[in-house]
Amino acid sequence: MLDLELDEQYQDLVNLVREFAQQVVAPQSAANDANKTFPYDIVKQMGELGLFGLPISEEYGGSGGDYFHLALALEELGKVDQSVAITLEAGVSLGAMPIYRFGSAEQKEKWLPELAAGQKLAGFGLTEPGAGSDASATHTRAKLEGGQWVIDGAKEFITNSGTDITSLVTVAAQTGVNEATGAKEISTIIVPSGTEGFTVAPAYDKVGWRASDTHPLHFDAARVPEENLLGERGRGYSYFLKILDEGRIAIAALATGAAQGCLDEAVAYAKTRTTFGTPIGKNQGISFMLARMATRVHSARLAYYAAAAKMLAGKDFKVEAAHAKLIASEAAMDNARDATQVFGGYGFMNESLVGRHYRDSKILEIGEGTTQVQQLLIARSLGL
Protein backbone atom coordinates (compact mmCIF):
# COMPACT_ATOMS: atom_id res chain seq x y z
CA MET A 1 0.00 0.00 0.00
CA LEU A 2 1.25 3.48 -0.81
CA ASP A 3 2.43 5.58 2.13
CA LEU A 4 2.21 9.28 1.39
CA GLU A 5 3.56 10.37 4.77
CA LEU A 6 6.72 12.47 4.49
CA ASP A 7 9.98 11.05 5.76
CA GLU A 8 11.52 12.87 8.73
CA GLN A 9 14.07 14.71 6.57
CA TYR A 10 11.33 16.08 4.32
CA GLN A 11 9.04 16.97 7.22
CA ASP A 12 11.84 18.79 9.03
CA LEU A 13 12.38 20.91 5.94
CA VAL A 14 8.65 21.64 5.66
CA ASN A 15 8.57 22.77 9.29
CA LEU A 16 11.63 24.97 8.81
CA VAL A 17 10.35 26.69 5.67
CA ARG A 18 6.81 27.02 7.05
CA GLU A 19 8.09 28.88 10.09
CA PHE A 20 10.31 31.09 7.92
CA ALA A 21 7.44 31.81 5.51
CA GLN A 22 5.00 32.73 8.25
CA GLN A 23 7.34 34.71 10.48
CA VAL A 24 9.70 36.40 8.00
CA VAL A 25 8.14 36.41 4.53
CA ALA A 26 4.44 36.99 5.22
CA PRO A 27 4.83 40.22 7.25
CA GLN A 28 6.68 41.88 4.35
CA SER A 29 4.60 40.59 1.46
CA ALA A 30 1.99 43.32 1.14
CA ALA A 31 4.54 46.15 1.25
CA ASN A 32 6.92 44.48 -1.20
CA ASP A 33 4.05 43.86 -3.59
CA ALA A 34 2.72 47.42 -3.33
CA ASN A 35 6.17 48.97 -3.79
CA LYS A 36 7.40 46.38 -6.33
CA THR A 37 10.40 45.85 -4.07
CA PHE A 38 12.68 42.91 -4.78
CA PRO A 39 13.18 41.09 -1.44
CA TYR A 40 16.98 41.06 -1.22
CA ASP A 41 17.00 40.46 2.53
CA ILE A 42 14.62 37.51 2.22
CA VAL A 43 16.71 36.05 -0.60
CA LYS A 44 19.81 36.37 1.59
CA GLN A 45 18.08 34.56 4.43
CA MET A 46 16.82 31.82 2.11
CA GLY A 47 20.38 31.36 0.95
CA GLU A 48 21.58 31.07 4.55
CA LEU A 49 18.90 28.41 5.16
CA GLY A 50 20.27 26.46 2.20
CA LEU A 51 17.13 26.69 0.09
CA PHE A 52 18.89 27.69 -3.14
CA GLY A 53 21.12 24.65 -2.88
CA LEU A 54 18.49 22.05 -1.99
CA PRO A 55 18.85 19.81 -5.09
CA ILE A 56 22.55 20.53 -5.64
CA SER A 57 25.31 18.26 -4.33
CA GLU A 58 27.56 19.35 -1.48
CA GLU A 59 30.50 19.19 -3.90
CA TYR A 60 29.27 22.44 -5.46
CA GLY A 61 28.07 24.12 -2.28
CA GLY A 62 24.55 22.69 -2.22
CA SER A 63 22.61 20.93 0.49
CA GLY A 64 22.84 17.50 -1.12
CA GLY A 65 19.09 17.01 -1.21
CA ASP A 66 16.83 16.26 -4.14
CA TYR A 67 14.24 17.99 -6.28
CA PHE A 68 11.40 17.00 -3.95
CA HIS A 69 13.06 19.00 -1.18
CA LEU A 70 12.84 22.05 -3.46
CA ALA A 71 9.20 21.34 -4.30
CA LEU A 72 8.22 21.11 -0.63
CA ALA A 73 9.95 24.42 0.13
CA LEU A 74 8.16 26.08 -2.78
CA GLU A 75 4.78 24.87 -1.56
CA GLU A 76 5.31 26.49 1.84
CA LEU A 77 6.55 29.78 0.37
CA GLY A 78 3.77 29.77 -2.24
CA LYS A 79 1.16 29.87 0.51
CA VAL A 80 2.18 33.36 1.62
CA ASP A 81 4.11 35.05 -1.22
CA GLN A 82 4.32 33.90 -4.81
CA SER A 83 6.92 36.54 -5.69
CA VAL A 84 9.34 35.09 -3.15
CA ALA A 85 8.48 31.55 -4.20
CA ILE A 86 9.07 32.20 -7.91
CA THR A 87 12.37 33.91 -7.11
CA LEU A 88 13.53 30.67 -5.48
CA GLU A 89 11.96 28.45 -8.15
CA ALA A 90 13.55 30.33 -11.04
CA GLY A 91 16.82 30.77 -9.20
CA VAL A 92 17.20 27.03 -8.77
CA SER A 93 15.27 25.18 -11.47
CA LEU A 94 15.84 27.69 -14.26
CA GLY A 95 19.02 29.40 -13.11
CA ALA A 96 21.30 26.87 -11.45
CA MET A 97 19.99 23.56 -12.77
CA PRO A 98 21.01 24.00 -16.45
CA ILE A 99 24.60 24.39 -15.28
CA TYR A 100 24.26 21.59 -12.72
CA ARG A 101 22.71 19.20 -15.25
CA PHE A 102 24.71 20.01 -18.37
CA GLY A 103 27.71 22.15 -17.45
CA SER A 104 31.35 21.15 -17.53
CA ALA A 105 33.27 20.59 -14.30
CA GLU A 106 34.88 24.00 -14.76
CA GLN A 107 31.52 25.74 -15.29
CA LYS A 108 30.04 24.05 -12.23
CA GLU A 109 33.00 25.01 -10.07
CA LYS A 110 32.88 28.60 -11.31
CA TRP A 111 29.16 29.36 -11.08
CA LEU A 112 27.36 26.92 -8.79
CA PRO A 113 28.75 27.71 -5.31
CA GLU A 114 27.41 31.28 -5.31
CA LEU A 115 24.13 30.20 -6.95
CA ALA A 116 23.64 27.39 -4.44
CA ALA A 117 24.31 29.82 -1.58
CA GLY A 118 21.76 32.34 -2.86
CA GLN A 119 24.53 34.93 -3.08
CA LYS A 120 23.96 35.17 -6.83
CA LEU A 121 21.02 34.51 -9.14
CA ALA A 122 20.82 33.33 -12.74
CA GLY A 123 18.23 33.65 -15.51
CA PHE A 124 16.93 31.23 -18.14
CA GLY A 125 16.92 32.94 -21.55
CA LEU A 126 14.46 31.00 -23.68
CA THR A 127 11.32 33.03 -24.42
CA GLU A 128 11.46 35.62 -27.21
CA PRO A 129 8.99 38.12 -28.69
CA GLY A 130 8.18 35.57 -31.43
CA ALA A 131 9.07 32.33 -29.63
CA GLY A 132 7.08 31.39 -26.55
CA SER A 133 5.27 28.06 -26.59
CA ASP A 134 7.09 27.32 -29.86
CA ALA A 135 10.55 27.66 -28.37
CA SER A 136 12.10 26.01 -31.43
CA ALA A 137 11.31 29.26 -33.28
CA THR A 138 14.24 30.95 -31.52
CA HIS A 139 15.61 33.85 -33.57
CA THR A 140 18.52 34.82 -31.34
CA ARG A 141 21.75 33.89 -33.14
CA ALA A 142 25.28 33.12 -32.04
CA LYS A 143 28.28 32.60 -34.30
CA LEU A 144 31.87 31.72 -33.55
CA GLU A 145 34.46 34.38 -34.35
CA GLY A 146 38.04 34.15 -33.17
CA GLY A 147 37.28 31.85 -30.24
CA GLN A 148 34.25 33.86 -29.09
CA TRP A 149 30.50 33.49 -29.45
CA VAL A 150 28.95 36.66 -30.90
CA ILE A 151 25.30 36.84 -29.88
CA ASP A 152 22.53 38.95 -31.42
CA GLY A 153 18.84 38.86 -30.53
CA ALA A 154 16.32 39.46 -27.78
CA LYS A 155 14.61 37.62 -24.95
CA GLU A 156 11.54 38.55 -22.92
CA PHE A 157 9.88 37.73 -19.60
CA ILE A 158 13.17 36.54 -18.08
CA THR A 159 13.00 36.09 -14.29
CA ASN A 160 15.93 37.04 -12.02
CA SER A 161 17.72 38.62 -14.98
CA GLY A 162 18.20 42.17 -13.71
CA THR A 163 18.80 42.09 -9.96
CA ASP A 164 21.89 43.50 -8.30
CA ILE A 165 23.01 39.91 -7.63
CA THR A 166 22.30 38.39 -11.06
CA SER A 167 25.50 36.72 -12.27
CA LEU A 168 24.47 35.23 -15.61
CA VAL A 169 21.78 34.31 -18.08
CA THR A 170 21.84 31.01 -19.96
CA VAL A 171 20.75 31.87 -23.51
CA ALA A 172 19.23 29.65 -26.19
CA ALA A 173 20.51 30.71 -29.61
CA GLN A 174 20.74 29.46 -33.17
CA THR A 175 24.31 28.39 -33.80
CA GLY A 176 23.81 26.93 -37.27
CA VAL A 177 21.62 24.64 -39.36
CA ASN A 178 21.56 20.85 -39.37
CA GLU A 179 22.70 20.01 -42.90
CA ALA A 180 20.88 16.66 -42.92
CA THR A 181 17.46 17.92 -41.82
CA GLY A 182 17.58 21.67 -42.44
CA ALA A 183 16.44 22.24 -38.85
CA LYS A 184 17.87 25.02 -36.71
CA GLU A 185 20.82 24.06 -34.55
CA ILE A 186 20.03 25.51 -31.12
CA SER A 187 22.69 25.69 -28.44
CA THR A 188 22.87 27.12 -24.94
CA ILE A 189 25.48 29.71 -24.00
CA ILE A 190 26.33 31.25 -20.63
CA VAL A 191 26.31 35.05 -20.81
CA PRO A 192 27.63 36.75 -17.64
CA SER A 193 26.02 39.93 -16.38
CA GLY A 194 27.90 43.02 -17.50
CA THR A 195 28.98 41.50 -20.82
CA GLU A 196 29.43 44.27 -23.38
CA GLY A 197 26.49 44.24 -25.81
CA PHE A 198 24.20 42.51 -23.28
CA THR A 199 21.52 44.95 -22.13
CA VAL A 200 18.91 44.38 -19.44
CA ALA A 201 15.91 46.57 -20.32
CA PRO A 202 13.70 48.19 -17.65
CA ALA A 203 11.56 45.82 -15.60
CA TYR A 204 8.01 45.01 -16.67
CA ASP A 205 5.00 46.53 -14.93
CA LYS A 206 3.27 43.25 -14.08
CA VAL A 207 -0.24 42.39 -12.93
CA GLY A 208 1.12 39.92 -10.39
CA TRP A 209 4.42 38.64 -8.97
CA ARG A 210 5.22 42.33 -8.56
CA ALA A 211 8.05 41.80 -6.06
CA SER A 212 9.88 39.41 -8.39
CA ASP A 213 12.40 40.50 -11.01
CA THR A 214 11.43 40.19 -14.70
CA HIS A 215 13.02 41.94 -17.71
CA PRO A 216 13.38 41.88 -21.48
CA LEU A 217 16.96 41.33 -22.63
CA HIS A 218 18.84 42.49 -25.71
CA PHE A 219 22.03 41.15 -27.29
CA ASP A 220 23.90 43.35 -29.74
CA ALA A 221 27.10 41.59 -30.79
CA ALA A 222 27.56 40.41 -27.21
CA ARG A 223 30.81 38.43 -27.04
CA VAL A 224 31.61 35.59 -24.64
CA PRO A 225 34.38 32.97 -24.73
CA GLU A 226 33.86 29.79 -26.75
CA GLU A 227 34.07 27.76 -23.53
CA ASN A 228 30.82 29.40 -22.34
CA LEU A 229 28.95 26.91 -24.51
CA LEU A 230 26.81 24.90 -22.08
CA GLY A 231 26.89 21.20 -22.86
CA GLU A 232 27.09 20.01 -26.46
CA ARG A 233 26.59 22.26 -29.45
CA GLY A 234 23.16 21.74 -31.01
CA ARG A 235 21.66 20.14 -27.88
CA GLY A 236 20.28 23.34 -26.41
CA TYR A 237 16.66 22.76 -27.30
CA SER A 238 16.62 19.31 -25.73
CA TYR A 239 18.35 20.70 -22.63
CA PHE A 240 15.72 23.36 -22.16
CA LEU A 241 12.90 20.83 -22.60
CA LYS A 242 14.39 18.69 -19.84
CA ILE A 243 14.78 21.71 -17.58
CA LEU A 244 11.15 22.71 -18.25
CA ASP A 245 9.92 19.21 -17.37
CA GLU A 246 11.60 19.51 -13.97
CA GLY A 247 10.43 23.09 -13.62
CA ARG A 248 6.82 22.07 -14.09
CA ILE A 249 7.01 19.97 -10.94
CA ALA A 250 8.40 22.99 -9.11
CA ILE A 251 5.71 25.30 -10.48
CA ALA A 252 3.05 22.73 -9.57
CA ALA A 253 4.34 22.71 -5.99
CA LEU A 254 4.30 26.52 -5.87
CA ALA A 255 0.76 26.54 -7.27
CA THR A 256 -0.35 23.93 -4.72
CA GLY A 257 0.95 26.21 -1.99
CA ALA A 258 -0.98 29.14 -3.44
CA ALA A 259 -4.15 27.06 -3.58
CA GLN A 260 -3.59 25.95 0.02
CA GLY A 261 -2.93 29.52 1.13
CA CYS A 262 -6.22 30.64 -0.37
CA LEU A 263 -8.05 27.79 1.35
CA ASP A 264 -6.47 28.55 4.72
CA GLU A 265 -7.39 32.23 4.50
CA ALA A 266 -10.95 31.53 3.34
CA VAL A 267 -11.64 28.93 6.05
CA ALA A 268 -10.35 31.23 8.79
CA TYR A 269 -12.46 34.11 7.48
CA ALA A 270 -15.56 31.95 7.09
CA LYS A 271 -15.34 30.95 10.76
CA THR A 272 -15.16 34.53 12.04
CA ARG A 273 -17.15 36.65 9.57
CA THR A 274 -20.81 36.72 10.56
CA THR A 275 -23.94 37.72 8.68
CA PHE A 276 -27.37 37.73 10.23
CA GLY A 277 -25.79 36.53 13.48
CA THR A 278 -24.18 33.41 11.98
CA PRO A 279 -20.64 32.69 10.74
CA ILE A 280 -20.76 32.58 6.95
CA GLY A 281 -19.06 29.19 6.98
CA LYS A 282 -22.31 27.75 8.36
CA ASN A 283 -24.00 28.60 5.09
CA GLN A 284 -24.07 25.61 2.75
CA GLY A 285 -23.19 27.74 -0.25
CA ILE A 286 -19.93 28.84 1.43
CA SER A 287 -19.11 25.50 3.04
CA PHE A 288 -19.51 23.63 -0.24
CA MET A 289 -17.27 26.18 -1.96
CA LEU A 290 -14.59 25.57 0.68
CA ALA A 291 -14.98 21.81 0.30
CA ARG A 292 -14.35 22.14 -3.42
CA MET A 293 -11.27 24.28 -2.70
CA ALA A 294 -9.91 21.61 -0.33
CA THR A 295 -10.41 18.93 -2.98
CA ARG A 296 -8.46 20.96 -5.52
CA VAL A 297 -5.54 21.30 -3.10
CA HIS A 298 -5.57 17.59 -2.36
CA SER A 299 -5.58 16.68 -6.05
CA ALA A 300 -2.80 19.15 -6.88
CA ARG A 301 -0.56 17.89 -4.09
CA LEU A 302 -1.04 14.27 -5.08
CA ALA A 303 -0.23 15.15 -8.69
CA TYR A 304 3.06 16.86 -7.99
CA TYR A 305 4.06 14.23 -5.43
CA ALA A 306 3.49 11.55 -8.08
CA ALA A 307 5.51 13.41 -10.71
CA ALA A 308 8.36 13.98 -8.26
CA ALA A 309 8.35 10.30 -7.26
CA LYS A 310 8.81 9.20 -10.88
CA MET A 311 11.53 11.79 -11.41
CA LEU A 312 13.49 10.66 -8.34
CA ALA A 313 13.09 7.02 -9.40
CA GLY A 314 14.80 7.85 -12.69
CA LYS A 315 11.69 7.13 -14.75
CA ASP A 316 10.17 9.22 -17.54
CA PHE A 317 8.02 11.84 -15.82
CA LYS A 318 7.18 14.22 -18.67
CA VAL A 319 3.45 13.39 -18.74
CA GLU A 320 3.14 13.32 -14.96
CA ALA A 321 4.79 16.75 -14.79
CA ALA A 322 2.27 18.03 -17.35
CA HIS A 323 -0.61 16.60 -15.29
CA ALA A 324 0.74 18.22 -12.15
CA LYS A 325 1.32 21.60 -13.74
CA LEU A 326 -2.14 21.61 -15.33
CA ILE A 327 -4.01 20.49 -12.22
CA ALA A 328 -2.12 22.68 -9.74
CA SER A 329 -2.13 25.91 -11.77
CA GLU A 330 -5.88 25.64 -12.33
CA ALA A 331 -6.38 24.83 -8.63
CA ALA A 332 -4.48 27.99 -7.67
CA MET A 333 -6.48 30.19 -10.03
CA ASP A 334 -9.83 28.64 -9.10
CA ASN A 335 -9.11 28.80 -5.37
CA ALA A 336 -7.97 32.42 -5.63
CA ARG A 337 -11.24 33.30 -7.36
CA ASP A 338 -13.35 31.45 -4.79
CA ALA A 339 -11.41 32.81 -1.81
CA THR A 340 -11.90 36.33 -3.12
CA GLN A 341 -15.62 35.63 -3.35
CA VAL A 342 -15.69 34.41 0.26
CA PHE A 343 -13.95 37.58 1.42
CA GLY A 344 -16.26 39.81 -0.61
CA GLY A 345 -15.13 43.40 -1.01
CA TYR A 346 -12.11 42.95 1.24
CA GLY A 347 -10.84 40.20 -1.03
CA PHE A 348 -10.65 42.75 -3.85
CA MET A 349 -8.17 44.90 -1.93
CA ASN A 350 -4.47 44.60 -2.78
CA GLU A 351 -3.45 44.37 0.88
CA SER A 352 -5.50 41.18 1.16
CA LEU A 353 -3.49 37.98 0.70
CA VAL A 354 -6.28 36.41 -1.36
CA GLY A 355 -6.39 39.53 -3.52
CA ARG A 356 -2.67 39.17 -4.21
CA HIS A 357 -3.12 35.46 -4.95
CA TYR A 358 -5.89 36.38 -7.39
CA ARG A 359 -3.48 38.61 -9.33
CA ASP A 360 -0.49 36.33 -8.95
CA SER A 361 -2.07 33.00 -9.85
CA LYS A 362 -2.99 33.70 -13.46
CA ILE A 363 0.62 33.49 -14.61
CA LEU A 364 0.81 29.97 -13.19
CA GLU A 365 -1.41 28.93 -16.11
CA ILE A 366 1.01 30.55 -18.57
CA GLY A 367 4.64 30.40 -17.42
CA GLU A 368 6.85 27.33 -18.03
CA GLY A 369 4.31 25.92 -20.45
CA THR A 370 0.74 27.17 -20.86
CA THR A 371 -2.32 25.14 -19.94
CA GLN A 372 -2.75 24.40 -23.63
CA VAL A 373 0.82 23.10 -23.95
CA GLN A 374 0.21 20.73 -21.02
CA GLN A 375 -2.98 19.51 -22.69
CA LEU A 376 -1.04 18.97 -25.92
CA LEU A 377 1.60 16.88 -24.13
CA ILE A 378 -1.04 14.82 -22.38
CA ALA A 379 -3.01 14.30 -25.60
CA ARG A 380 0.11 13.11 -27.38
CA SER A 381 0.66 10.55 -24.62
CA LEU A 382 -2.77 9.17 -25.49
CA GLY A 383 -1.70 8.66 -29.08
CA LEU A 384 -3.65 11.65 -30.37
Active site residues: 368
Reference 252, options 16, 72, 22; nearest CA is 72
Residue 256, helix vs strand vs coil: helix
Neighbours of 45 (CB within 10 A): 15
How far apart, in whole angstroms, are the C-alpha atoms of residue 274 and residue 281?
9
Indicate the angle between helix axes 236-272 and 284-312, nearest 10 degrees: 150
The runs of H, that is alpha helices, within the chain are 8-20, 26-35, 40-48, 67-80, 82-89, 97-102, 105-116, 236-272, 284-312, 318-343, 353-361, 371-381
Maximum Cα–Cα distance across the chain: 79
How far apart, in whole angstroms, are the C-alpha atoms of residue 115 and residue 121?
6
How far apart, in whole angstroms, are the C-alpha atoms of residue 10 and residue 255?
19
Question: Cα–Cα–Cα angle for 50, 91, 17, nearest 5°?
Answer: 40
Reference 160, options 91, 63, 75, 68; nearest CA is 91
| Residues in a beta bridge with 174 | 141, 186
Q: CB–CB of 70/93 below 8 Å?
A: yes
How far apart, in whole angstroms, are the C-alpha atoms of residue 235 and residue 101?
13
How far CA 172 is from CA of 48, 253, 322, in Å, comes to 31, 26, 22
Indicate the angle between helix axes 8-20 and 67-80, nearest 10 degrees: 30
Residue 199, helix vs strand vs coil: strand
